[in-house]
Amino acid sequence: MQPNIDPELLFKLKLPAEADRLALVRSVVQRALENDGCSKELAQNIVIAVNEACMNIITHAYKDVGEGIFELELSKTSGGLRFRLTDHAPPINLDSVKPRDLDDIRPGGLGIHFIQEIMDEFKMGHLDDNKGNYMEMLINLD
């Protein structure tokens, strides 16, 4: 008997919130996008945005907790792709999540800028009962 899987779900990963797991995330996302017909260039750009979002969870959401897990889902939508990241870290201050001024030249801190430039939409929020955070990123392929 086949498991009851949403046909729109391409994959779901559940990983420790550790930087050394990002190579796996990048590889899986790249392969899934190329298998779904994305050009290599578009896939590489999307991988940058997803990597930055995952890194933000690791470095910011779990910074005071020390360790935890996060989940990444990739689903097809009617006109594109949806990435959903969730964590179980304490709720973040959503008002503090914004791109850094590009005139402020220093290493790091450009993740939100990359996400906004690459993805068509993104939103963030808290999970029910403040038991974590989520980010959804959408890219249109039409």
The domain in which residue 63 lies consists of 9-140
Is residue 131 in some structural domain?
yes
For the domain that residue 108 is a member of, what is the CATH number? Answer: 3.30.565.10
- pLDDT tens-digit map of 22-36: 999 999 999 999 998
Is residue 2 in some structural domain?
no
Q: Which pTM does this prediction carry? A: 0.86
Contacts of residue 66, Cβ cutoff 8 Å, sequence gap at least 6:
none
How many Å apart are CA 113 and CA 15, to the nearest integer? 24
Domain total for the chain?
1
Average confidence (pLDDT) over 14-18: 96
Is residue 120 in some structural domain?
yes
Alpha-carbon distance values, 93 to 60, 97, 98, 130 (Å): 10, 7, 11, 12
Is residue 100 in some structural domain?
yes
Minimal CA–CA distance to 98: which of 119, 118, 114, 113?
113
Is residue 1 in some structural domain?
no
Tell me the two tokens of residue 36: 């779904």
Given this model, what pLDDT does residue 100 score? 60
Is residue 4 in some structural domain?
no
| Average pLDDT of the residues of the chain | 87
Is residue 3 in some structural domain?
no
Given this model, what pLDDT does residue 4 score? 44
Is pLDDT above 50 for 2?
no
